[in-house]
Structure 1
Amino acid sequence: MVKEIVINSSATQTRVAITEDGYLADFFVDYPENRRTVGDIYLGKVARVLPGIKAAFIDIGMKHDGFLHFSDIGESTKQLQDIIGDDSDIDEEDDDEVFKRGDNQNKSGSNTHTKPIIPKLLKGQEILVQITKEPVNNKGVRVSSSISLPGRFCVLLPFDGKIGISKKISDYKERKRLRNIAKSILLPNYGLIIRTVAKDQSEDALKDDLKNLMKTWQEIETIVKTEKPPALIYQDMNTTSSVIRDLFTPDVTKVFIDSKKLYKQIKNYVQVVQPGLVDKIELFPSATSIFDSFKIEEQIKTLMGRKVPLPSGGYLIVEHTEAMVVVDVNSGRYAKSKEQELNSLKTDLEASREIARQLRLRDIGGIIVIDFIDLEEEKNKKKIFDELKKEFRRDRAKVTILPMSDFGLVQITRQRVRQNIMQAMKEVCPYCLG
């Protein structure tokens, strides 16, 4: 499979497309005036505590207060998937192992960093939080006090003493090697997640990455001491840079960029973090439209429409409502009764693959209900369920799928981290404000 990253940069926006054999697999848009906020760290102040919904609202200086659920307070790694995408599935040490490691290091007298005790939240209390979800509609951002700093090969957890290895690194010997490296380079009571791209990397590469993250955290600690809430303490990378950091892996064939300035920036960054990939970065001639040349523009247009064609002649209708997103699967043509089940299965299987792709491309989150073409046989319903599970394994967001109901409906919940692509790309009409 030929996997490529294509970047189109202009004065008003930067668009990043990831293609697999020419087909659009992921799409990101970065606006200078509306930058991504996920990963930003704020010193906030508790505005309200609502025990009834097990949450608090944190004033971080934005139009709407940040939403902090009680489950996101303290020593939790659940919100890491919002920050590290593809490495949300991790294997952690046993708590006993972590305890022993911390104990042994404490006895040596080398512990200079103590794990904070999270107090009961009180109105007016200062609290350090990190944005985990972008604001949607009239809701504010979602925040967590489980801080994490992502690097190229690892993610630093300042308040969590656990070590985790990405499940995508399946080789036992490699996992053991990486865990041993993490134990040897990590300071007491800090935690670390080893990312997928760390596979086969040297100890020096991981050590340098951790060194940069520790430097960043020390700068954050220094700033916190001098700032008064609400205050922005740390600003994460923009969308384009984070895509390169997180998704430019050795399996990517080429990276094409049509901006000389951005080309130099990305090349310099990759030269520092992973020099072996620099030769894969190419400057695309600006005389021609890069997205037109790679036939990406026409694929983007389909993301804005309700109707999505399927290979066999069927199609999907994607409808956005206030409560959920509804996807209707249509065969698009008549089939004889004796072939009905077979044709319905074929269309539903095609739809399963395309739905997983469309949800990922459009960044659709929340509740999704799919109305498949009716199937009579239970084994065929299971095939659809299995196909959906297989296709969603490629999704970096957390996805939960329920089996098909008797009415041919499948319910899905997909993690919402940011605005969907339609919300991100729409413009307000200056005349009617519609």
Structure 2
Amino acid sequence: MYTLIINHLTREKRFALVKNNVVEKLFIQQPKQQSAISKIYLGIVEKVLPGMNAAFVDIGEEKSGYLHRDKMASFVQAEEDGAKSVSSYAHQGERLLVQVEKDAAGTKGPRLSGIIELQGNHLIYMPRGRYVAVSKKIEDSQEREKLRELGHEMKEPEEGLIFRTSSKGTQKEMLIAELEQHRLKYKEILQTASVVRKPGCVLERNSLIDEISEEIERLEINEIIVDDSAFKVELQKKFQCSIQLYSGKENIFSAYRLEHEIEKALKRIVWLENGAYLIFDEAEALTVIDVNTGKYSGIQDLSDTILKTNEWAAVEAARQIHLRDIGGMILIDFIDMKKEKDRQHIISLLEGELRKDERRTKVIGFTPLGILQLTRKKTKPALLESLTMKCPSCEGAGRVLSPESIAFRLERELWEHKGGDYEAVFIEATQDVQRTFSGEKNVHKERMEELLGLEIIFSGSDSLKPSYEIRQYGTSADLRKKLESN
């Protein structure tokens, strides 16, 4: 049974998935980094590249998107065998609807699909998808075949349908009604796109709600705890599970001891309970995890010590990969094992732990040098990339928390003093943190002052990295005198 703890009160939206007091997933969304996955755009083909069998599409964002021939609606509808070049299905200047499959990361733009998917409670509707599929979680073969036949009966030849797990046992009339809603929604999207002149988004999405929906669809969520009453009402309209409102003064993540898990997921070294540790080195397309015995010496022979350490490391490595949302190629340098059966045991253990992950993973095996290779589908930046930036004081050799992360941390700390007896608070902060916290024309600062009943007085800090320090609470007059004397 899982508990979902949601921090929605401040601008940085977060949730943690907890099972038996162990955090299994973290989701953090900052305003500037909201995922574009599943957003639908009107795009214009910029360049067709026969050599790559793909096209670059201007979607009105900073970077153009990448669209492979096999993901083009015209290719799917043609039902070709794949012999024709991309030039047969797209041309420069063509206007088309596309959906983001993978966020832009580093120097790469977003990856796109021309096969639009509209997600509902029981169905995923593809206006130009052509095929019918059933969730693999519906294991009953008769039920799967029944749904597949129903799908072909319901859809038009050019349409596609995917039956979600929740469709099992759902009445036919409800499924048909949902399909009609999807069709109306798609007509609205086409109408919007028809009047748009420039490339741009034609259908936004609430990625937080979508992520929560996926967790509820995927797992047995026992309860949801949220700190925002308005968001609680929104969740109750959509989901049937138990939802509780947290009303304590302390930030909900601090109250449930989750802040430590975020800090741990950003550290290079992760200690295991037995004294061994893992070292994470994350790059854009490759992550290396090094396993060390550390203080653990075992109680029997050396091979027993090595195997036990590698077992603990495999379990924690899988958990950290999920928590940190690491994607791409991953290399784990386990302590060298001489016996082939020990290596296969570690592979089986790791595969078992990775099955808990909703993202597609593939364990390839050990290299001749004894390094285990695996891949994990990457759709958005990892936690480290999202929450940190290149350190200006070390020219990128290390990382520090970004001004946004520090400003939102200050926001949460001030929330804990809501309704206090003080008139004002005196804070030393770097200019970048002050700007982020205050917002354009101090709109966020003034909003916080009104909500907290507390005047916020800033003083500059000479720190080389984004930081703040709450120096004093008191009367407005006394703290303004303090500001003038600095």
TM-score, normalised with respect to structure 1: 0.82
Per-residue deviation, 1:349? 1.6
2:133 corresponds to which residue? 164
Three-state SS of the structure 2 residue aligned to 1:52 is: coil
1:16 corresponds to which residue? 15
- Please, which of 248, 252, 270 is the counterpart of residue 216 of structure 2? 248
- Please, which of 355, 365, 373 is the counterpart of residue 403 of structure 1? 365
The alignment status of 1:281 with 2:246, answered yes or no, reads no
Shift in CA distance, 179/54, structure 1 to aligned 2, threshold 3 Å: closer
Three-state SS of the structure 1 residue aligned to 2:366 is: coil
The alignment status of 1:215 with 2:184, answered yes or no, reads yes
1:92 corresponds to which residue? none
Per-residue deviation, 1:197? 2.9
Shift in CA distance, 141/257, structure 1 to aligned 2, threshold 3 Å: same
Shift in CA distance, 197/354, structure 1 to aligned 2, threshold 3 Å: farther
Q: Identity of paired residues, percent? A: 29
Per-residue deviation, 1:228? 2.4
Q: Within 5 A, what are the aligned runs for 1:179-328?
A: 179-236=148-205, 238-249=206-217, 251-270=220-239, 277-278=240-241, 280-328=242-290
> What's the Cα RMSD here?
2.5
Q: State whether residues 75 and 146 of structure 1, in contact with CA within 8 Å, keep that contact through their aligned partners in structure 2.
A: no
* The structure with more radius of gyration: 2
Aligned length: 387
Three-state SS of the structure 2 residue aligned to 1:179 is: helix
Q: State whether residues 69 and 75 of structure 2, in contact with CA within 8 Å, keep that contact through their aligned partners in structure 1.
A: no
Q: Within 5 A, what are the aligned runs for 1:350-389?
A: 350-389=312-351
Residues 329-383 of structure 1: CA distance to partner in whole angstroms, max 9, x if unpaired? 1111353796221221111122112212111111111111110011010011011
Q: State the AA in 2 paired with 1:164.
A: A
Residues 272-291 of structure 1: CA distance to partner in whole angstroms, max 9, x if unpaired? xxxxx24x112122434322
2:297 corresponds to which residue? 335
Shift in CA distance, 207/286, structure 1 to aligned 2, threshold 3 Å: farther
Consecutive unaligned residues in structure 2, runs of 5 or more: 80-85, 389-400, 404-431, 433-462, 467-486
1:87 corresponds to which residue? none
What is the CA–CA distance in structure 2 between the aligned matches of 1:167 and 1:322, rounded to whole Å?
Answer: 32
Per-residue deviation, 1:422? 1.4
What is the CA–CA distance in structure 1 between the aligned matches of 2:296 and 2:11, rounded to whole Å?
Answer: 47
Shift in CA distance, 205/354, structure 1 to aligned 2, threshold 3 Å: farther
What is the CA–CA distance in structure 1 between the aligned matches of 2:114 and 2:160, rounded to whole Å?
Answer: 15
1:143 corresponds to which residue? 112
Residues 62-110 of structure 1: CA distance to partner in whole angstroms, max 9, x if unpaired? 1111112233223789xxxxxxxxxxxxxxxxx9xxxxxxxxxxxxxxx
Residues 378-428 of structure 1: CA distance to partner in whole angstroms, max 9, x if unpaired? 011011111222222222222122111232201112111011111212254
Residues 27-83 of structure 1: CA distance to partner in whole angstroms, max 9, x if unpaired? 111223432211011111111122223322111111111112233223789xxxxxx
Three-state SS of the structure 2 residue aligned to 1:402 is: strand
Highest relative contact order (Cα 8 Å, sep 6+), 1 or 2? 1
TM-score, normalised with respect to structure 2: 0.74
Q: State whether residues 117 and 124 of structure 2, in contact with CA within 8 Å, keep that contact through their aligned partners in structure 1.
A: yes
Per-residue deviation, 1:17? 1.0
Shift in CA distance, 428/138, structure 1 to aligned 2, threshold 3 Å: farther
Q: State whether residues 147 and 158 of structure 1, in contact with CA within 8 Å, keep that contact through their aligned partners in structure 2.
A: yes
Q: State whether residues 365 and 374 of structure 2, in contact with CA within 8 Å, keep that contact through their aligned partners in structure 1.
A: no
Consecutive unaligned residues in structure 1, runs of 5 or more: 78-94, 96-116, 271-276
What is the CA–CA distance in structure 1 between the aligned matches of 2:256 and 2:180, rounded to whole Å?
Answer: 39
Q: State whether residues 163 and 191 of structure 1, in contact with CA within 8 Å, keep that contact through their aligned partners in structure 2.
A: yes
What is the CA–CA distance in structure 1 between the aligned matches of 2:157 and 2:298, rounded to whole Å?
Answer: 69
